[in-house]
Amino acid sequence: MELTHSEAERANDEKLRELGYVPGPDRASFSDFVAMKVIALKRTHQYGNVYGANALPMGMAQHKGLVRNVCVRVDAMRIAELDALTELLDCNKQEFVLELLVAGMEQAKAALRTAGLEKAFDTAVDRKLDEAGFSVVPPGEGGFWGTHYQGKPIINPDARHHEKMARGISGTIGEALPENEA
């Protein structure tokens, strides 16, 4: 059987629908694209980096004692849901759970502030950080206070490599689809 391009495209779209997909762009596709880009930009402005809540574990990855497991036991049904969510959202459990944990901690800290307990929290967290070997150093040329661990700056020598890997897909797309080819 021979089909025209349009007939073949409609047949492929129908097959995709049978498999549970919504084929091709629609009127909302560009709005979705813009919303996705705005959200990515917002996260960069919120965190100061493209990695969000996962930037600190990346930066501390070279210091084994600075990235720890929180040992949370989770029932099998929640694990199945978490696996499905992370699969559909195209992220790993580390990314998902750390974003969730940081957001929950911010919510709890806001509740403490509202209750007038911000100073008590600050005292407790400062004590915990001091006990763990963290210290702050005065601003350098960049104007920001720095954090040191056991008297040394926290630097991940592989950070540039991680950044290149995370942004590599953009370069790949650019190479595969040069602007002068339409």
Q: What is the pLDDT of residues 36-79, one digit of tens each?
A: 999 999 988 988 888 888 888 888 877 778 888 888 899 999 99
Q: What does the block give as tokens for 109? A: 């800290």
As a dihedral over the C-alpha atoms of residue 49, residue 52, residue 58, residue 60, rounded to 10 degrees, the angle is 90
In a domain, 151, yes or no: yes
> Helices 93-114 and 76-89, interaxial angle, to 10°?
100
What confidence tier does 140 reach under pLDDT thresholds 50, 70, 90? confident
In a domain, 182, yes or no: no
In a domain, 161, yes or no: yes
Which strands form 146-149's sheet, in the order they lie side by side? 134-137, 146-149, 152-153
pLDDT given at position 181: 44
Q: Are 28 and 63 members of one domain?
A: no
In a domain, 179, yes or no: no
Determine the structural domain holding residue 30 and report its residue range.
9-48
Q: Are 115 and 161 members of one domain?
A: yes
Q: How many structural domains are present in the chain?
A: 2
Mean pLDDT computed over every residue of the chain: 84
Judged against a pLDDT cut of 60, whether residue 178 lies above it is answered with no
What confidence tier does 129 reach under pLDDT thresholds 50, 70, 90? very high
Higher pLDDT, 68 or 156: 68
Q: Are 64 and 142 members of one domain?
A: yes
Q: Are 62 and 28 members of one domain?
A: no
Q: Are 39 and 69 members of one domain?
A: no
pLDDT > 70 fraction of the chain, expressed in percent and rounded: 86
In a domain, 17, yes or no: yes
* H or E stretch covering 43: helix 29-47
Q: Are 83 and 154 members of one domain?
A: yes
Judged against a pLDDT cut of 80, whether residue 179 lies above it is answered with no
Q: Are 119 and 147 members of one domain?
A: yes
Query: What's the whole-model pTM score?
Result: 0.67
Q: How many CB atoms lie within 10 A of CB 18?
A: 8
Judged against a pLDDT cut of 70, whether residue 173 lies above it is answered with no
Q: Are 21 and 63 members of one domain?
A: no
In a domain, 57, yes or no: yes
